[in-house]
Structure formats: C-alpha cells, structure tokens
Amino acid sequence: MKNISERGLMTRIIHAGQHVDPATGAVSTPIYQSSTFAFKNADHGAACFGGAPGYKYTRLGNPTIEALENNIATLEGGCGGLGAASGMAAVNMVYLTFLGQGTHIVGHESLYGPSRMIIESEYPRFGVEYSFVDASNAENVAKAMRDNTKLVYIETPANPTLALTDIRACAEIAHQGGALLVADNTFASPYLQNPLELGADIVLHSMTKFINGHTDVVAGMVVAKDPEVLARLRKVHYNMGGTMDPHQAWLVLRGVKSLGLRMDRAQENALKLAAYLEKHPKVSWVRYPGLESHPQYELGRKQMRGPGAVFSFGVKGGIEAGKTVINNVEIPALAVSLGGIESLIEHPASMTHAGIPLAERLEAGISDDLVRIAVGCETYADLEADLTRVLDMI
C-alpha cells in the first residue's frame, strides 16, 4: 500500500509491511518456510553477501519475518525492525550491542524480572556496571548518569508496578550524557504509545503479549529510529542467533491485525474493573494508569493514547488473602504472561519477579501483596462477578 505511514493507525496495523503476493495473489503473507535461498549464479550469491538486496539464509533475513519487522517498524515510526526469538532475545540484542567492558547502564528499578536480573547476574562478567533507580522521577536518572553510561533503559508502564516514566525527559537526559534511550513498550503496545516519537532511540517488545495477543507464540521485536543504530543491532543479532522463525513471524502477523480491536475491548474491561475494585471494601489499593489515583495519571494522559489493560492491586489481608483470590477465580487463568485475548492473573513476588533480591524487589514497589491482572476481552459482567465472588471468600 502506498504512503502507508500517512494512513490511519488501524489501516497501518492491518496493512503495513504486507502486500498481495505477486506470484500467486495470496492476500495473507505467505510463510516462506525455507532455511536458505538459492542464488541465480555465483556472482548473484557474492553480490547478496556483499550487501545487494536479496535473501540468503533465514537467520540473515526472510520475507515473512521481514513483513512483520516492517509492520512493527511502521507502527512505531522507526527506520526498521529486527524480529527476535523472544522478548528476552530482543532485550539481550540491545544489551549485547551497546554494553561491554567498562560501560554502564541506568535502568528503571521496576522492569520485567529477567530484564533486570540478567544485568545484575550475568553482565558483570563482561565488565558492565549498572544502576537501577526509580525512573518514574527523571531526576533519579539524571543523578545516576556516569561518563561511561551507554544505555538508559526504561519500561513504561512498568511490569508489574505500572509505574510510568517520562519518555521525553529521559531521552533528553540520555542524550545529554551521550547515551541511547531504550523503551520497552510491551505493556502499551504501539497502539497506545510510540516512544520513538517522544525521543527514544530504540523501542522493544515482547510480542508474546499484546502484539500477538493469542497466548500461543513467544516472540520479540526491536525497532530503531536511526539506520546506524539499526545496523549495529543487526550485526550483533544475526551473529548471536536469537532470530525468529518464519512460522512464528506469520502467527504474529496474523495476531497483530486485531491489535486495535483487542486493545480497545481489553482496555474498556480493565477501566471498569479497576474502578470497581478500587471501591471494593476488601481491596486495599489499585495501581492503574487509567485511574486518577495513579501518581502519574497526567503523564499517562500526555504520553499514551490509553492506559492499557494490565493493573495491579492488593487485597486486605495481604498475600494470604491474595492467594485466595488467585486460587479461586474462574475466568482469569492463574498464569504468568499478559496481553492475550483471555484474562490472566499472577503473583509477581513469587513468580515473574521472584529472582530479584527481596530488598531490591520491595524498594522497586513489588510488594508481597501485589496481584497483577491482565484483563482480557471477555464479557465484562462475568469478570466483575468472578472477582466479586472470590473477594467475598476473604
């Protein structure tokens, strides 16, 4: 489709990166399930390896994967994307490209557990220094910057505290210090937030979540604003090998088409459920960017097009009462992950964020009583009735 980047968001979601197959007329992007691609002759092969356009080997590029990369890059307003085997492969692609001996990263203290844990437990082996701070106050990021800081790494909204970070302010701080700003946009998805347009240099996704949306694929994506940054990432990614599979890419291409429809519905359910729980006598607190009680409600309205469909809450009676909730709900599955068409509920302190040392976890706001719910697209009345029933059991 011509002028795709000038079209409306829903049109871009459905069509970007995709075209009717010239060979067959197939409307759905074909799955090019081939590990390698034949060259016309020796000179053609040499030219492809020398940088001429053309496919060589699926780890180094594949038409189905490329369709998805172009789709997400268009949605995020980047110059290109790199599909990854998982969200963590995407995170590590960025770390491995820009961190090394004598470099420093400033990260938000509340991140998906492994995105923080791997910096603390593995990267010091390669001489990487780190500071994790409460980036929801950008001054903390400014204070943590060092001469050797190469990356400022944020997740907004953050998993699982739903803390927001001012992307524009952090971009300025990172750039003043000669560092790149990386934003994990998994919770918002490109439907609700575009960090590159707010000054970030790199945006990444666990596409396992809202982008795919059907709880049946693990996948990741990195999008860069600048071609030089993309080229550096590509070189590391292709040789480290955490690339996608064409079938995996095709499933995500199928999932992303309904991103806007799913997100609208899930968000509508989340808004109603969070407001209902906030007033419920058995609920002690609710943290959701869609509620005015969220400390950064105004920032959310400024930098997001909607608050998303994930929130966290605590029930009176702490973790024991929380367990009664998560053990007895019937609609949300008791499972980690989020962003699927079905609701999921989990306990971060003992599950997704269990690997973070206790003091650091508490400091980051991931309290023992925190229950995280990823609201799906079910009938709202059923969700409310389910939560009401289990809260009555406390």
Verify whether residue 305 is a known catalytic residue: no
Q: Is 218 exposed, middle or buried (0-12, 13-18, 19+ CB in 10 A)?
A: middle
Q: Hey, what amino acid is at 372?
A: R
Verify whether residue 112 is a known catalytic residue: yes
Separation of alpha carbons 279 and 348, rounded Å:
23
Q: How many CB atoms lie within 10 A of CB 379?
A: 10
Q: Please, which contacts does 176-180 make with residues 24 or more away whose CB atoms are closer than 8 Å?
A: 176/145, 177/145, 177/146, 177/149, 177/152, 178/149, 179/106, 179/145, 179/149, 179/150, 179/151, 179/152, 180/98, 180/150, 180/151, 180/152, 180/229
Nearest to 130 by CA among 78, 172, 95, 165: 95
Dihedral pair phi/psi, residue 168, rounded to 5°: -60, -45
- Closest approach, Cβ 126 to ligand LCS, in A, equals 21
Residue nearest to ligand LCS (CB): 87
Q: Confirm or reject binding of residue 69 to ligand LCS (CB under 6 A).
A: no
Give me the 27-66 binding string for ligand LCS, x by CB under 6 A, dash otherwise: ----------------------------------------
From the list 184, 201, 369, 386, the catalytic residue is: 184
Verify whether residue 130 is a known catalytic residue: no
Q: Confirm or reject binding of residue 88 to ligand LCS (CB under 6 A).
A: yes
Buried b (16+ CB within 10 A) or exposed e, 247-271: ebbbbbbebbbbbbebbebbbebbb
Q: Cα-atom radius of gyration of the chain, to the nearest Å?
A: 21
- Closest approach, Cβ 336 to ligand LCS, in A, equals 3
Q: Confirm or reject binding of residue 337 to ligand LCS (CB under 6 A).
A: yes
Which residue in 66, 69, 109, 184 binds ligand LCS (CB under 6 A)?
184
Total count of residues recorded for the chain = 394
Between 109 and 155, whose beta carbon lies closer to ligand LCS? 155
- Closest approach, Cβ 183 to ligand LCS, in A, equals 10
Verify whether residue 125 is a known catalytic residue: no
- Closest approach, Cβ 330 to ligand LCS, in A, equals 21
- Closest approach, Cβ 122 to ligand LCS, in A, equals 15
Strands 180-184 and 202-206: parallel
Q: How many CB atoms lie within 10 A of CB 82?
A: 28
Q: Confirm or reject binding of residue 255 to ligand LCS (CB under 6 A).
A: no
- Closest approach, Cβ 339 to ligand LCS, in A, equals 8
Q: Confirm or reject binding of residue 352 to ligand LCS (CB under 6 A).
A: yes
Which residue in 97, 161, 186, 296 binds ligand LCS (CB under 6 A)?
186
Q: Confirm or reject binding of residue 157 to ligand LCS (CB under 6 A).
A: no
Separation of alpha carbons 292 and 294, rounded Å:
5
From the list 12, 209, 282, 287, the catalytic residue is: 209
Q: How many CB atoms lie within 10 A of CB 236?
A: 17
Between 18 and 208, whose beta carbon lies closer to ligand LCS? 208
End-to-end CA gap in the chain: 55
Buried b (16+ CB within 10 A) or exposed e, 143-164: ebbeeebbbbbbbbbbbbbbbb
Q: Confirm or reject binding of residue 95 to ligand LCS (CB under 6 A).
A: no
- Closest approach, Cβ 5 to ligand LCS, in A, equals 26
Q: Confirm or reject binding of residue 159 to ligand LCS (CB under 6 A).
A: yes
Which residue in 155, 201, 245, 386 binds ligand LCS (CB under 6 A)?
155
Which residue in 233, 252, 338, 373 binds ligand LCS (CB under 6 A)?
338
Q: Which residues bind ligand LCS (CB under 6 A)?
A: 86-88, 91, 112, 115, 155, 159, 184, 186, 206, 208, 218, 220, 336-338, 352
Just list the catalytic residues: 59, 112, 184, 209
